[in-house]
Amino acid sequence: MKAWGLFLSLILFCAGCATPPEQPAPPSRYGGPPLPSPENLDRADVEVIRGTFSAGRQPDGNTVVLASADGLIVFDTGRHAAHTQKIIDLAEARGQPVVAIINSHWHLDHVSGNILLRQRWPGAVVYANDDALTDALGSFLARGLEANRKTVADPATPAGLAEDLRGDIATVEQGDKLHPDVSIAANRTIDVGDYKLSLRVAKGVSAGDIWLDEDATRLVASGDLVTLPAPFLDTACPKEWRAALDRILATPLKRLIPGHGREMTRVEVVLYRDAFNALLDCANGDAPAAACADAWAAAAAPLLDAQSGTQADAEAYARYYVESVLRAGKTRADCPA
Q: Where are the domains of the chain?
A: 6-326
* Superfamily designation of domain 6-326: Ribonuclease Z/Hydroxyacylglutathione hydrolase-like (3.60.15.10)
pLDDT of residue 11: 31
CA distance 58 to 111: 14
Global pTM reads: 0.87
Residue type for position 248: I
Would you give per-residue pLDDT tens digits along the chain (337 residues)?
454 434 433 332 332 333 333 333 333 222 323 333 334 444 557 899 999 877 778 999 999 999 999 999 999 999 999 999 999 999 999 999 999 999 999 999 999 999 999 999 999 999 999 999 999 999 999 999 999 999 999 999 999 999 999 999 999 999 999 999 999 999 999 999 989 999 999 999 999 999 999 988 899 999 999 999 999 999 999 999 999 999 999 999 999 999 999 999 999 999 999 999 999 999 999 999 999 999 999 999 999 998 888 999 999 999 999 999 999 999 998 988 6
Q: Three-state secondary structure along the chain?
A: CCCCCHHHHHHHHHCCCCCCCCCCCCCCCCCCCCCCCCCCCCCCCEEEECCCCCCCCCCCCCEEEEECCCCEEEECCCCCHHHHHHHHHHHHHHCCCEEEEECCCCCHHHHCCHHHHHHHCCCCEEEECHHHHHHHHHCHHHHHHHHHHHHHHCCCCCHHHHHHHHHHHHHHHCHHHHCCCEECCCCEEEEECCEEEEEEEECCCCCCEEEEEECCCCEEEEEEEEECCCCCCCCCCHHHHHHHHHHHHCCCCCEEEEEECCCEEHHHHHHHHHHHHHHHHHHCCCCCHHHHHHHHHHHHHHHCCCCCCCHHHHHHHHHHHHHHHHCCCCCCCCCCC
